[in-house]
């Protein structure tokens, strides 16, 4: 127990003496964790076999008492798998409970050489929900918040309001007391009023000395003012006048008069209502808690949640700041923009993450979809307890360096024979793929599905048992040609097919040589069409495959959904294009235009087309689309008789 006791002692020290409250909170969490480890070790008999604490603990869990405990937490789910190897003994316990003794023995034999080095048992705590997704872990968001600092311009402004303005007003008042007659002021840029250095109040020398002492202290702690500023001119003159102005020449006195006129004309005399109102506002602004202060408070609140999981809700961290967190910011509401940063770790369904802006593009959607994939794989495991072990192990594996493949872990490999490849599991995967597709289209109707998202869709399609030809950006791939064949079939005689002049069909063949020939034929077709239109090969590949949308709609039976949602998706895609400046007629605008035409091919296009604004920077493109919808065709130059043009990215 020596190692665990030493770590507990170190964590206790940090929890008691660390100056940073966040460090103390993290240390307190580690204290609880090491106490739990020591409690477990205390149950292990002193004469238990093993050469180290870890080995004795692992071997103890293979006894009757340890296996009974593991069986209990399997049934209740009150455990947490922080690293993949913590799941190993749970799998052993499950195998034994279900009379798979040979498999359990094989797994123990694989683990035995590492029992002295690794812990193969979980931590005991309520397991996090696996029904939702999150973009970042709590630890990711917490680290970003703790990196927040006050920007130099903001720090300089706060310093001016809180330090230099009060000193400046006292300095101005000192020199104003030496003016004979009216105080200097500006009229049409010309200085009027009396001259300084004419009268010397009895307390002036004493006040001057106090000011210089306060200035010296402030200049040691803060950056000094610019050497050409009115503050510096008045301060230098003050230093040269211990009791009178004999050390100043006429030019220097003129500069004092000019500086006084500048500040009095701009802000009023020291003590006046106008100047006091300005300083009050500035003091209130300077006293507001800095963004970095509130970010650090929010990061400290996140210490209460497991580091490598998502955030279950925003409400527990959204309250006003209290005096124990940051006395200077007590009573301040947590800003929405900071809560939006914390929402990056929020656990929620995909649709909610999109609506909150946490998932803001297809690439980010692709980042979170693997969590859904892992959850769906648990649907292939009929036993609920084993499915939970698999889900948490998969999540823990994603957080660790990838030295091996997930399926190569011995305890994961031991689960493989008990995966249920049932129709129900496949239907769950189909439903998940359908949901992910509709969420992507609803959220980003103008955007082409990115390659990262297509790769995740492929994984879901494999789980669903669908032979989906989802193509990446490679015109020589067989998937591209298969996707083009699907697009030509399902879009035949539609607005999309007429607008982009899709081939009516693609040759098919069974032999390997024939497949190579037809794949090459697809690449040649893309090249030929690109040369004829002056566009790019990649754009023609996207046109011929309809950006994978035709294959997805066909395989997932989304025709009915598009019939209802198509007008709204098309409106939003067209609106995005038509809000772009005329100089932006590039690939993104052409892709969004193509997406809109695809949506209109599944619904009544009349209402949407009638609402397109005229005139518009895309006037020729709108005319061309309306002409094709009315039955016209583009000529070989991509033009219609009414002057319309096919919109391409080139």
- Residue 357 near residue 441, CB atoms below 8 Å: no
How many beta carbons lie within 10 A of that of residue 311, not counting itself?
22
Q: Both tokens of residue 178?
A: 């030496």
Domain-wise residue ranges, the chain = 2-114, 138-150+290-347, 152-287, 469-557, 560-650
Q: According to the model, what pLDDT value does residue 4 have?
A: 57
SS3 217: helix
Q: List, in order, residues 6 or more apart from 61 with CB less than 8 Å away.
A: 67, 69, 70, 89, 120, 121
Q: Both tokens of residue 336?
A: 């929405």
Query: What's 162's DSSP letter?
Result: I
Q: Both tokens of residue 387?
A: 């499915």
Inter-CA distances, 174 with 130, 203, 402, Å? 69, 10, 70
Quote the longest CA-to-CA distance of the chain: 110
CA 584, 533, 448: angle at the middle one, nearest 5? 50
- Residue 132 near residue 350, CB atoms below 8 Å: no
Name residues of the chain where pLDDT drops below 50.
Answer: 1, 127-131, 475, 510-517
Q: For residue 311, which phi and psi values (nearest 5 degrees)?
A: -95, 120
- Residue 219 near residue 203, CB atoms below 8 Å: no
Distance (Å, rounded) from C-alpha 455 to C-alpha 272? 69
Residue of 303, 165, 169 lying closest to 225 (CA atoms) = 165
R_g over Cα of the chain: 36
pLDDT digits (tens, 9 = 90+) for 138-164: 999 999 898 888 888 888 888 888 888
Q: For residue 403, which phi and psi values (nearest 5 degrees)?
A: -85, -25
Q: List, in order, residues 6 or more apart from 572 with CB less than 8 Å away.
A: 445, 446
Torsion angle defined by CA atoms of residues 414, 417, 421 and 424, in that order, rounded to the nearest 10 degrees: -70
SS3 445: coil
CA 480, 486, 487: angle at the middle one, nearest 5? 85
Inter-CA distances, 319 with 139, 291, 315, 333, 477, Å? 20, 16, 7, 7, 54
Identify the sign of the CA torsion 8, 13, 15, 21: negative
- Residue 338 near residue 129, CB atoms below 8 Å: no
Query: What's 225's DSSP letter?
Result: P
pLDDT digits (tens, 9 = 90+) for 100-135: 999 999 999 999 999 888 889 888 765 443 446 888
Distance (Å, rounded) from C-alpha 545 to C-alpha 273? 72
Q: Both tokens of residue 339?
A: 């809560």
Concatenate the DSSP letters of all residues of 102-156 into one string: HHHHHHHHHHGGGTTT---S-B-SPPPP-SSB-SS-HHHHHHHHHT----HHHHH
- Residue 607 near residue 567, CB atoms below 8 Å: yes
Inter-CA distances, 584 with 587, 588, 589, 617, Å? 9, 8, 7, 10
SS3 320: coil
Distance (Å, rounded) from C-alpha 509 to C-alpha 216? 90
64: phi > 0 → left, psi -120 to 50 → alpha, else beta; which? alpha
CA 132, 471, 473: angle at the middle one, nearest 5? 105
Q: How deeply is 107 buried, as exposed, middle or buried, from its count of CB atoms within 10 A (0-12, 13-18, 19+)?
A: buried
Distance from chain centroid for Cα 597: 31
């Amino acid at each position: 127990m020596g190692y665990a006791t030493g770590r507990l002692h170190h964590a206790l020290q940090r929890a008691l003496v660390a100056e940073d409250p966040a460090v103390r909170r993290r240390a307190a969490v580690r204290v609880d964790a090491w106490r739990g480890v020591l409690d477990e070790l205390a149950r292990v008999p002193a004469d238990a076999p093993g050469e180290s604490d870890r080995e004795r603990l692992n071997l103890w869990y293979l006894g009757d008492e340890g296996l009974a405990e593991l069986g209990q937490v399997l049934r209740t789910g009150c455990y947490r798998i922080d690293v993949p190897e913590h799941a190993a003994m749970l799998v052993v316990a499950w195998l034994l409970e279900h009379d798979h003794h040979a498999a359990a023995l094989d797994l123990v034999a694989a683990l035995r050489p590492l029992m002295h080095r690794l812990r193969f048992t979980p931590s005991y705590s309520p397991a996090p929900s696996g029904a939702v997704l999150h973009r970042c872990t709590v630890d990711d968001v917490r680290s970003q918040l703790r990196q927040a600092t006050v920007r130099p311009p903001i720090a300089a402004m706060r310093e001016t309001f809180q330090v230099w303005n009060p000193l400046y007003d006292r300095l101005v008042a000192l020199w104003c007391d030496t003016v004979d007659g009216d105080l200097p002021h500006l009229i049409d840029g010309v200085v009027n009023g009396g001259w300084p250095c004419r009268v010397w109040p009895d307390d002036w020398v004493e006040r001057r000395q106090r000011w210089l002492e306060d200035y010296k202290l402030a200049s040691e702690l803060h950056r000094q003012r610019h050497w050409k500023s009115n503050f510096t001119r008045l301060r230098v003159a003050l230093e040269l006048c211990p009791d009178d102005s004999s050390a100043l020449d006429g030019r220097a006195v003129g500069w004092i008069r000019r500086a006084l006129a500048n500040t009095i004309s701009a802000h009023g005399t020291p003590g006046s209502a106008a100047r006091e109102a300005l300083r009050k506002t500035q003091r209130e602004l300077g006293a507001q808690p800095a963004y970095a202060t509130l970010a650090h408070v929010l990061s400290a609140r996140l210490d209460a949640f497991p580091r490598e999981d998502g955030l279950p809700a925003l409400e527990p961290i959204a309250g006003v700041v209290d005096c124990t967190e940051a006395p200077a910011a007590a009573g301040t509401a947590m800003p929405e923009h900071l809560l939006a940063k914390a929402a990056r770790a929020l656990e929620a369904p995909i649709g909610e993450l999109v609506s909150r802006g946490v998932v803001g593009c297809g690439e980010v959607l692709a980042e979170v979809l693997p969590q859904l994939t892992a959850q769906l794989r648990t649907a292939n495991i009929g036993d609920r307890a084993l499915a939970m072990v698999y889900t948490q192990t998969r999540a823990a594996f994603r957080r660790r360096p990838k030295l091996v493949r997930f399926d190569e872990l011995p305890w994961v490999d031991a689960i493989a024979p008990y995966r249920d490849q049932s129709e129900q599991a496949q239907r769950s995967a189909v439903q998940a793929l359908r949901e992910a597709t509709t969420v992507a289209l609803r959220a980003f109707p103008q955007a082409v599905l990115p390659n990262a998202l297509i790769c995740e869709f492929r994984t879901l399609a494999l789980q669903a048992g669908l032979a989906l030809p989802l193509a990446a950006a490679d015109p020589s791939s067989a998937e591209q040609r298969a996707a083009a064949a699907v697009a030509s079939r399902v879009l035949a005689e539609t607005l999309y097919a007429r607008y982009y002049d899709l081939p009516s069909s693609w040759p098919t063949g069974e032999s390997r040589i024939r497949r190579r020939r037809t794949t090459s034929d697809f690449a040649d077709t893309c090249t030929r069409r690109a040369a004829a239109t002056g566009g790019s090969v990649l754009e023609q590949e996207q046109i011929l495959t309809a950006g994978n949308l035709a294959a997805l709609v066909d395989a997932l039976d989304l025709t009915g959904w598009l019939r209802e949602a198509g007008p709204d998706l098309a409106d939003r895609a067209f609106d995005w294009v038509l809000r772009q400046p005329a100089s932006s007629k590039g690939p993104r605008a052409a892709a969004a235009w193509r997406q809109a035409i695809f949506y209109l091919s599944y619904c009544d296009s009349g209402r949407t087309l009638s609402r397109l604004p005229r005139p518009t920077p895309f006037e020729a493109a709108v005319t061309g689309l309306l002409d094709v919808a009315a039955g016209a065709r583009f000529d070989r130059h991509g033009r219609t008789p009414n002057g319309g043009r096919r919109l391409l990215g080139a």
